Amino acid sequence: NTYEHILTSSPKPGVGLITLNRPKALNALCSPLFTELNDALSKYDEDKSIGAIIITGSEKAFAAGADIKEMAPLTFSSAYSNNFIAPWSHLANSIRKPVIAAVSGYALGGGCELALMCDIIYCTSNATFGQPEIKLGVIPGAGGSQRLTRAVGKSKAMELILTGKNFSGKQAGEWGVAAEVVDGGHAELLDVAVKTAETIAGHSRVATVAAKEVVNKSQELSLREGVEYERRLFHGLFGSQDQKIGMTAFAEKKKPEWSHE
Ligand code: HXC
């Protein structure tokens, strides 16, 4: 595929890697970039050989936000009529395979929100997260006020969003925003992300999609509804071939050869 603002590759079997590649603007997320990102995500999601997806940027920037130069001239009418930012929901709403964000450098505004939409965040200790929209006279617009609040709790999210101050990768790890803070730079970070993606891609695809779905439901349903939802899907997996394959392989002390069905 020939994209202008992103690169795609498969560093290991089963792993789809999307690299945001708009270095002159620190990977500012302009609309054309997001169109390409959504296209690449959809293709990996449909590709049977791919089991997990990674989104990353560069050493300097995961993404420094939505494109301020694109937003500056918007009016209420144009933003509202064209449903500005709506395409950003594709990742959270429609991509069913696990997506890992590997964040080094800046993840500000929409960049932070993009990371928060992913299923797992890994970062370097000196990654810089933040929701600085307030300093531009606006507010987070791609889910930041909701997802950051769920991630760090109300008081801290309120402080971050009202002051616009940044937080470090190290803090992201301490607060549970990031699953792991990787020692080293971008290369070491990517190694860790690829290893996890490989592990995920080595499992049954049907079980993996179900696992992602139920964890995400926990963010939206009451505990009781969520537990019931989980149980229904758990029951459903006894209708998959991979349940038989996985449990038979365990009994036979063999490695399962998934059908992904
Ligand atoms: C457009 C951007 C940009 C952005 C950086 N650039 N961030 N362009 N949108 N969000 C461009 C700069 O204009 C500059 O272009 C080039 O990238 C390099 O940036 P510098 O500022 O020269 O780099 P540096 O001095 O290293 O500072 C890095 C920085 C700073 C601290 C990250 O660029 C910065 O503060 N950027 C904006 C961060 C931000 O406010 N993000 C939130 C955006 S609002 P030129 O052409 O001058 O070389 C948002 C809303 C989300 O995301 C809600 C809906 C999704």
Q: What is the CATH number of the domain that holds 30?
A: 3.90.226.10
Say whether both 44 and 152 belong to one domain. yes
Residue 78 CA to residue 84 CA, distance in Å, equals 8
Tell me what the mean pLDDT of segment 55-59 comes to: 98
Say whether both 231 and 173 belong to one domain. no
- Structure confidence at residue 13 as a pLDDT band (50, 70, 90): very high
Give a yes or no: residue 116 inside a domain.
yes
Express each pLDDT in 33-48 by its tens digit. 999 999 999 999 999 9
Say whether both 180 and 121 belong to one domain. yes
Express each pLDDT in 249-259 by its tens digit. 999 999 999 99
Say whether both 143 and 219 belong to one domain. no
What's the complex ipTM?
A: 0.98
pTM of the model: 0.97
Say whether both 231 and 141 belong to one domain. no
Say whether both 177 and 213 belong to one domain. no
Tell me what the mean pLDDT of segment 44-73 comes to: 98
Say whether both 102 and 180 belong to one domain. yes
The verdict on whether 252 is a catalytic residue reads no
Give a yes or no: residue 187 inside a domain.
yes
Give a yes or no: residue 258 inside a domain.
no
Say whether both 128 and 151 belong to one domain. yes
Note down the domain range covering 237.
205-251
Which of the listed residues 21, 24, 26, 148 should we mutate to test ligand 1's pocket, taking the one with most ligand atoms within 8 A of CB?
A: 26
The verdict on whether 110 is a catalytic residue reads yes
66 pLDDT higher than 90: yes
Q: What pLDDT does 199 receive?
A: 98
Nearest CA to ligand 1 atom 37: 64
| Tokens of residue 1, six digits | 């595929």
Does the C-beta of 164 come closer than 6 Å to ligand 1?
A: no
1 pLDDT higher than 90: no
Question: Which CATH number fits the domain that encloses residue 234?
Answer: 1.10.12
Nearest CA to ligand 1 atom 18: 25
Q: At 106, is the secondary structure helix, strand, or coil?
A: strand
Q: What pLDDT does 2 receive?
A: 87
- Angle (nearest 5°) at CA 241 between 237 and 247: 80
Ligand 1, atom nearest to 67 Cα: 9
Spacing, Cα 25 to ligand 1 middle (Å): 7
Which of 162, 180, 201 is where one domain is finished? 201
Give a yes or no: residue 15 inside a domain.
yes
Give a yes or no: residue 257 inside a domain.
no
Domain count within the chain: 2
Q: Is-contact 23 76, C-beta < 8 A?
A: no
Q: What pLDDT does 18 receive?
A: 98
Q: What pLDDT does 27 receive?
A: 98
Give a yes or no: residue 259 inside a domain.
no
Say whether both 189 and 218 belong to one domain. no
Nearest CA to ligand 1 atom 9: 67
- Structure confidence at residue 12 as a pLDDT band (50, 70, 90): very high
Range 210-219 contact pairs with CB under 8 angstroms and sequence separation of 24 or more? 210/236, 210/237, 212/96, 212/97, 212/98, 212/119, 213/96, 215/119, 216/119, 219/150
